[in-house]
Amino acid sequence: MRLAPDRHYDAFMSTLETLRFDNTYVKLPDIFGVKLNPTPFSKPPYLVSFNPEGGALLDLDPREAGRTEFLEYFTGARILPGSNPVAMLYAGHQFGHYVPQLGDGRAILLGEVVNQAGERWDLHVKGAGLTPFSRDGDGRAVLRSTIREYLCSEAMHGLGIPTTRALCIIGSDEEVLREEGVESGAMLVRLSPSHVRFGSFEVFYYRNQHDSIRLLADYVIAHHFPHLAVVGDKYLQFLTEVVTRTGRLMAEWQAVGFAHGVMNTDNMSILGLTLDYGPFGFLDDYNPGFICNHSDRGGRYAFHRQPTIANWNLHALAEALLPLLTEEQAKEALAVFEPAMVARYRELMQRKFGLTEWRTDDAELLTGLLAILHANHIDYTNFFRALGRFSTEDGVPNSDPRDMFVDRSAFDAWARRYRERLLSEGSKNEDRQRRMNRANPKYVLRNYLAHQAIALAREKRDFSEIDRLLTVLRDPYAEQPTMERYAIPPPDWGKHLAVSCSS
Ligand code: AMP
Ligand code: MG
**Final residue of a structural domain among 347, 372, 403:** 347
Q: Would you state the pLDDT for residue 2?
A: 66
Using the Cα atoms of residue 275, residue 281, residue 287 and residue 290 in order, give the sign of their dihedral. Answer: negative
Q: Do residues 187 and 305 share a domain?
A: no
Specify the ligand 1 atom closest to the Cα of 138: 20
Given 288, 313, 347, the domain boundary residue is 347
* Ligand 1, CB cutoff 6 Å, lining residues: 102-106, 133-134, 137-140, 262, 267, 276, 278, 501, 503
Q: Is 167 in the same domain as 98?
A: yes
Distance 492 CA to ligand 1 centre (A): 32
**Looking at 180, 195, 210, which one is the last position of a domain?**
195
Nearest CA to ligand 1 atom 16: 137
Residues 433 and 314 in one domain: no
Q: Say whether both 38 and 182 belong to one domain.
A: yes
Per-residue pLDDT of the chain (503 residues; tens, 9 = 90+): 566 655 555 668 999 999 999 999 999 999 999 999 999 999 999 999 999 999 999 999 999 999 999 999 999 999 999 999 999 999 999 999 999 989 999 999 999 999 999 999 999 999 999 999 999 999 999 999 999 999 999 999 999 999 999 999 999 999 999 988 999 999 999 999 999 999 999 999 999 999 999 999 999 999 999 999 999 999 999 999 999 999 999 999 999 999 999 999 999 999 999 999 999 999 999 999 999 999 999 999 999 999 999 999 999 999 999 999 999 999 999 999 999 999 999 999 999 999 999 999 999 999 999 999 999 999 999 999 999 999 999 999 999 999 999 999 999 999 999 999 999 999 999 999 999 999 999 999 999 999 999 999 999 999 999 999 999 999 999 999 999 999 999 999 999 898 988 99
Quick check: 35 and 89 in contact, CB under 8 A?
no
Task: Judge if 248 and 277 occupy the same domain.
Answer: yes
Nearest ligand to the CA of 99 is: 1
Distance 135 CA to ligand 1 centre (A): 8
Alpha carbon of 266 to ligand 2 centroid (Å): 6
Q: Contact 310/272 with Cβ under 8 angstroms? A: no
In a domain, 4, yes or no: no
Does one domain contain both 56 and 186?
A: yes
Which of 97, 99, 109, 134 best tests ligand 1's pocket when mutated (most atoms within 8 Å of CB)?
Answer: 134
The CA R_g of the chain, rounded to the nearest whole Å, is 24
- Asked if residue 169 and residue 42 are part of one domain, the reply reads yes
- Which sequence positions are flagged as catalytic? 266
State the closest ligand 1 atom to the C-alpha of 131, by its place in the atom list counted from 1: 21
Q: Are residues 53 and 162 in the same domain?
A: yes
Instruction: Determine, yes or no, domain membership for 474.
Output: yes
Q: Among residues 153, 145, 18, 10, which one has the least CA distance to residue 73? A: 18
Supply the residue whose CA is at minimum distance from atom 14 of ligand 1.
Answer: 105
Residue nearest to atom 10 of ligand 1 (CA): 102
**Which atom of ligand 1 lies closest to the CA of 278?**
3
Contacts of 384-389 with CB under 8 Å at 24 or more apart are 384/352, 384/436, 384/439, 384/440, 385/437, 385/440, 385/441, 385/442, 385/487, 387/352, 387/353, 387/354, 387/436, 387/440, 388/354, 388/433, 388/436, 388/437, 388/440, 389/433
* Residue 118 counted as domain residue: yes
Spatial separation of the C-alpha atoms in residues 191 and 188, rounded to whole Å? 10
Q: Which atom of ligand 1 approaches the CA of 264 most closely?
A: 4
Residues 6+ apart with CB under 8 A from 459: none
Ligand 1 centroid to Cα of residue 383, in Å, is 37
3-state secondary structure of 282: strand
Mutate to test the pocket of ligand 1, among 106, 138, 140, 275 (most ligand atoms within 8 A of CB): 106
Distance 502 CA to ligand 2 centre (A): 12
Is 7 within the bounds of a domain? Answer: no
Q: How many structural domains are present in the chain?
A: 4
Same domain membership, residue 267 and residue 150: no
Is 291 a member of any domain? yes
Same structural domain, 189 and 48: yes
Q: pLDDT value at position 311?
A: 98
- Per the structure, the complete domain to which residue 334 belongs is given by 199-347
* Any domain includes 352: no
Residues 221 and 300 in one domain: yes
Is residue 442 a part of any domain in this protein?
no
412 occurs within a structural domain: yes
* pTM of the predicted structure, to 2 decimals: 0.97
Give me the helices (H) in 182-274, please. 198-206, 210-224, 234-256
> Do 289 and 306 share a domain, yes or no?
yes
